[in-house]
Amino acid sequence: MQISSRFTIAVHIFACIRMFEKDYKVTSEFLASSINVNPVIIRKIMLQLKNAGLITVARGTGGISAVKSPDQITFYDIYRAVDLIENGTLFHFHENPCPKCPVGKNIHFALDGRLSDIQKAMEDEMKKFTIEDVVKEIEMRNEREN
C-alpha cells in the first residue's frame, strides 16, 4: 500500500505558491514545469485542492493562490484533499474471510483496532507538519547551495 504521488505533487504545488506567487502567476503550466508532469495532472489535483477549500483558482491564466497561510496548511489537510480514502479508512480489508476458519472468523477482531490505531497515529503525525516547514527547508537548502 502506498499513498499516491498526488500527495507529494500537492505539497509541491503549495511550496511553489508560497515561493513564487509574488513574482509569477502560478498556473498549471508553471507548476507542471516545476513538477515535471503533464498540466492535466496538475489541474486534476488543483480541482481536488479547490474542492477541499485549500486554494482558489482564477479563471484563464490568472493563477492559483492558497486560501490559508502556509503555516496553517498541514500535511493532513493535503492528504485528506487528494488521497481520498474509502469510507475514511486507510486500510482496505478483504471482504469475505471464511467464517468456518479460526483465522477467518477472527481476523477482523484481531486487526480492526490495530489498523485504526496505525491510521490515527499516521494522521496525527501529518497534522504536525505544515507547508511552511517545507518551504523553510527548501529555502535553507537553496541558501547553502549559493
Q: Are 4 and 44 in contact (CB under 8 A)?
A: no
What are the tens digits of pLDDT across the range 10-55? Answer: 999 999 999 999 999 999 999 999 999 999 999 999 999 999 999 9
What are the tens digits of pLDDT across the range 85-109? Answer: 766 777 877 778 899 999 999 998 9
pTM here is: 0.87
Domains of the chain in sequence order: 5-145 (1.10.10.10)
Give the whole-angstrom CA distance, residue 51 versus residue 60. 18
